[in-house]
Amino acid sequence: MDKNIAIKLKKLSDIQDVDTNLNNILKLRGTLPEEVSKLEAQIEALSATIEERALLLTKLKEEVVHKKAFIKQGEKKLQQYEAQQMEVRNNREYDAITKELDLHRLDIQLAEKFLHNAYGNIEQDEANLEAFSKLLESKKYDLVLKKEELEIILKASEREEQALFQTRKEIIVVLGEPLYLTYERIRKNVPNNLAVVPIKKGACGGCCIVIPPQQKIGVYERNKIVLCEHCGRMLIALEQPIDALLFVG
């Protein structure tokens, strides 16, 4: 048995246990972190929509005021032109004033049509804004509840998580960067993130496929790090080497 390899195998088992515990903590939190992030994004989008629509509504109301003033001013001009029409001296002047009257009446009609549509749009926009505002308040309320729930879970696991991360850092130092990177690569590429598994009843603890006797002896001797030929996981032996070798024999 190579003492240095045996130490690294033990540390590989330890870091796998640490990562399993960290994963369990994440499972305890469930989807809360994602739900909080999603709600925050929805609130931001809703707030932007409300701000944009409120600005458009303000501009529309300002345009209504302008159109009302335009109509009032146009009606005064109509009265002036009608009075002038009564005092014309020839057909040319009469036709010119009549043309101006027709143009002003058309402008007034267009302005009145705009107002008619604008009143309906304003009513609809105000109803939409009210609905958006209620939805925003609902989302904010949900966010407060989700954050409180998440905060309780985070506080409950904070010390344990910090301790696990500290242990993990210490293990990585012993493993060395190359072996640690190999561990991480395997962990990310296998189901359930188990990169280090024991031999159980002569089979890989990850894929459950029987380990060949010669490879099994290599695992028990602890002279090198052995990977499962089928799933690529790192194999460790939970039994004592002598007992295991007798079993293989």
The structure tokens 């001797």 sit at: 221
Q: Read off the DSSP letter of residue 210.
A: B
Amino acid identity, residue 69? A
Q: Specify the pLDDT at position 238.
A: 79
Q: Specify the pLDDT at position 79.
A: 92
- How would you class 64 by CB atoms within 10 Å of its CB: exposed for 0-12, middle for 13-18, buried for 19 or more? middle
Q: Specify the pLDDT at position 248.
A: 42
Amino acid identity, residue 101? L
Pairing of strands 196-200, 203-204: antiparallel
Q: What is the pTM of this model?
A: 0.62
Q: Read off the DSSP letter of residue 223.
A: S
Q: What is the pLDDT of residues 99-118, one digit of tens each?
A: 999 999 999 999 999 999 99
Strands (E) located in the chain: 196-200, 203-204, 226-227, 234-236
- Sketch out the chain's domains with CATH numbers: 3-25+176-248 (1.10.287.1490), 31-162 (1.10.287.1490)
Q: Specify the pLDDT at position 82.
A: 87
Cα–Cα dist 238/101, whole Å: 102
The series of mean pLDDT values per 10 residues for the chain, 249 residues long, is: 88 96 88 94 97 96 96 92 86 89 93 95 96 97 95 90 95 95 95 93 93 90 92 85 44
